A = this chain, B = another copy of it.
Amino acid sequence: MILKNNSTLIFLGDSVTDCGRSPDGELNLGSGYVNLFSSMFRIAYPEAGVRFINQGVSGDQTRQVLARLERDVLSIHPDVVTLLIGVNDVWRFFDRPFAYQGVPAEEYRDNLKKIIEPILAGGAKMLVMTPYMIDRSPYEPMRTKMLEYAAICKDTAQTYGVEVLELQPVFENLLAKGITSYELSGDRIHPSQKGHFAITMALMEHLRPETD
């Protein structure tokens, strides 16, 4: 996707996106991939002039993103929106298995549709990143479920013709090349700085400046 000069880009997501950003989403872009990507992009393409806004909220599932969509995204009239949501829809089934806070698969798909449709209707382009677990093992039940949701996410995005960046292969490829899971994340979800660089460098290939 081409990021036009002087356009506005919103990063929408959960704690992987949030990383301690300021309430306005601009004064402090947090310590994760949003900050890394926007700094690197600004230095690499100083004439592009893109406005970056972090709208990640720690703990969010698709339910909460849906509830704050108008205020945090639509009212700002962005040119581009990236979306990375779903990790917590799955994780709550596994870290709090009896609290009934996971989001069922069908509700996940519906919520995604209700998030994507108004954003596209508002005239923005989207890049959807799929949820992941930094683990290569078929023995881990949460990875199995995460793959299912990642497939739903990819499928839903493509229904609307939206560009997709699959993160599970990004991480599994690094694991296969000898980077350990502890280098990328302490808990297999929240990325370390190396993990955030993995996302950042994948994003740099998907979001290109108008004139390179």
Chain A contacts with B in 81-114, Cβ cutoff 8 A: 91, 94-100
Binary B-proximity of A137-152 (CB < 8 A = 1, otherwise 0): 1111110000000000
Verify A179–B42 contact, CB threshold 8 A. Answer: yes
Q: Kindly state the separation between the CA atoms of A183 and B99 in the bound complex, as whole angstroms.
A: 13
Q: Which residues of B contact A186 (CB under 8 A)?
A: 186-187
Contact size range, A: 35 or more
Q: B197 to A43, Cβ gap below 8 A? A: yes
Contact between B177 and A47, CB atoms less than 8 A apart: yes
Partner of A39, one of B26, B51, B135, B194: B194
Say yes or no: A174 contacts B47, CB within 8 Å. no
Q: Which residue of B is nearest A94, CB measured?
A: B180
Contact of A180 with B99 at beta-carbon distance under 8 Å, contacts A43-B201, A194-B43 already known: no
* Across-interface contacts of A137 in B (CB, < 8 A): 135-140
- The answer on a CB contact under 8 Å between B96 and A27 is yes
- State whether the Cβ of A17 lies closer than 8 Å to any Cβ in chain B: no
Nearest CB in chain B: distance from A63 CB, A: 16
Residues of B within 8 A of A27 (CB): 96
Complex Cα–Cα for A98 and B182 (A): 13
- Tell yes or no: A209 within 8 A of B by CB: no
Q: Does A2 contact B (CB under 8 A)?
A: no
